[in-house]
Protein backbone atom coordinates (compact mmCIF):
# COMPACT_ATOMS: atom_id res chain seq x y z
CA UNK A 1 0.00 0.00 0.00
CA UNK A 2 1.41 3.43 -0.94
CA UNK A 3 1.80 6.51 1.18
CA UNK A 4 -0.74 9.28 1.30
CA UNK A 5 -0.05 12.91 2.16
CA UNK A 6 -2.27 15.49 3.75
CA UNK A 7 -1.34 19.07 4.53
CA UNK A 8 -3.31 20.67 7.34
CA UNK A 9 -3.63 24.22 8.62
CA UNK A 10 -4.88 24.57 12.19
CA UNK A 11 -6.57 27.84 13.18
CA UNK A 12 -7.27 29.09 16.70
CA UNK A 13 -5.01 29.28 19.74
CA UNK A 14 -2.33 27.00 18.32
CA UNK A 15 0.97 28.85 18.77
CA UNK A 16 2.88 28.97 22.03
CA UNK A 17 1.12 25.87 23.41
CA UNK A 18 3.60 23.14 22.36
CA UNK A 19 1.38 22.27 19.38
CA UNK A 20 4.25 21.49 17.01
CA UNK A 21 6.21 19.37 19.47
CA UNK A 22 3.11 17.44 20.56
CA UNK A 23 2.30 16.83 16.90
CA UNK A 24 5.86 15.61 16.25
CA UNK A 25 5.70 13.16 19.15
CA UNK A 26 2.33 11.80 18.02
CA UNK A 27 3.52 11.46 14.42
CA UNK A 28 6.63 9.58 15.52
CA UNK A 29 4.50 7.30 17.68
CA UNK A 30 2.29 6.49 14.69
CA UNK A 31 5.16 6.14 12.20
CA UNK A 32 4.07 9.20 10.18
CA UNK A 33 6.64 11.39 8.41
CA UNK A 34 6.33 15.09 7.71
CA UNK A 35 6.77 18.48 9.31
CA UNK A 36 5.01 21.20 11.31
CA UNK A 37 5.61 24.94 11.41
CA UNK A 38 4.15 28.15 12.80
CA UNK A 39 2.97 30.61 10.17
CA UNK A 40 3.05 34.41 10.30
CA UNK A 41 -0.78 34.33 10.25
CA UNK A 42 -0.85 32.66 13.68
CA UNK A 43 -1.75 29.20 12.41
CA UNK A 44 0.16 25.92 12.50
CA UNK A 45 0.71 24.20 9.16
CA UNK A 46 1.73 20.55 8.99
CA UNK A 47 2.23 17.85 6.38
CA UNK A 48 1.73 14.18 7.17
CA UNK A 49 2.86 11.24 5.03
CA UNK A 50 2.29 7.59 5.74
CA UNK A 51 -0.35 4.92 5.47
CA UNK A 52 -3.90 6.22 5.14
CA UNK A 53 -5.06 5.14 8.59
CA UNK A 54 -2.11 6.71 10.42
CA UNK A 55 -2.38 9.97 8.45
CA UNK A 56 -6.14 10.13 9.12
CA UNK A 57 -5.39 9.67 12.83
CA UNK A 58 -2.93 12.59 12.69
CA UNK A 59 -5.56 14.83 11.08
CA UNK A 60 -7.94 13.94 13.93
CA UNK A 61 -5.17 14.61 16.47
CA UNK A 62 -4.78 18.12 15.03
CA UNK A 63 -8.56 18.67 15.08
CA UNK A 64 -8.63 17.84 18.79
CA UNK A 65 -5.69 20.08 19.52
CA UNK A 66 -2.95 18.83 21.79
CA UNK A 67 -2.54 20.15 25.33
CA UNK A 68 -3.70 23.73 25.86
CA UNK A 69 -4.45 24.43 22.21
CA UNK A 70 -7.91 25.62 21.19
CA UNK A 71 -8.42 24.63 17.55
CA UNK A 72 -11.30 26.51 15.92
CA UNK A 73 -10.90 25.19 12.37
CA UNK A 74 -8.69 22.82 10.36
CA UNK A 75 -8.12 22.99 6.62
CA UNK A 76 -7.13 19.65 5.04
CA UNK A 77 -5.53 19.35 1.60
CA UNK A 78 -4.70 16.08 -0.16
CA UNK A 79 -1.31 16.25 -1.88
CA UNK A 80 1.05 13.91 -3.70
CA UNK A 81 3.42 12.12 -1.32
CA UNK A 82 7.05 13.29 -1.53
CA UNK A 83 8.62 10.31 0.22
CA UNK A 84 9.54 12.18 3.41
CA UNK A 85 11.28 10.38 6.24
CA UNK A 86 11.19 11.46 9.86
CA UNK A 87 9.27 14.40 11.28
CA UNK A 88 10.70 17.92 11.45
CA UNK A 89 9.66 21.05 13.27
CA UNK A 90 10.18 24.03 11.00
CA UNK A 91 10.19 27.74 11.74
Q: What per-residue confidence (pLDDT) applies to 91?
A: 78
DSSP structure class, residue 31: T
Which CATH number belongs to the domain containing residue 27 in this structure? 3.30.70.100
Q: Which of 7, 30, 37, 38 is catalytic?
A: 38
Q: What per-residue confidence (pLDDT) applies to 90?
A: 94
Q: Which of 6, 20, 37, 90 is catalytic?
A: 20
Look up 20 and say whether it is catalytic.
yes
Q: Please give the Cα distance from 26 to 35 (Å, whole number).
A: 12
Contact 32, 50 (CB under 8 A): yes
Q: What per-residue confidence (pLDDT) applies to 67?
A: 81
pLDDT value at 5 more than 80: yes
Q: pTM value? A: 0.95
Look up 73 and say whether it is catalytic.
no
Buried b (16+ CB within 10 A) or exposed e, 5-17: bbbbbbebebbeb
Domain range enclosing 15: 4-74
Say how many domains are in the chain.
1
The answer as to whether 88 is a domain residue is no
Those residues whose C-beta lies under 8 Å from the C-beta of residue 60, and which sit 6 or more positions away, are none
Q: Please give the Cα distance from 14 to 3 (Å, whole number).
A: 27
Closest Cα partner for 26 from 51, 48, 8, 3? Answer: 48
Query: Which is more confidently placed, 66 or 89?
Result: 89
The pLDDT tens digits for 28-83 are: 999 999 999 999 999 999 999 999 999 999 999 999 998 889 999 999 999 999 99
Amino acid sequence: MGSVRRRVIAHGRVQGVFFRDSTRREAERRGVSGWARNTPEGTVEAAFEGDDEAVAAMVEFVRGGPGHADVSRVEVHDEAAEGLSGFDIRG
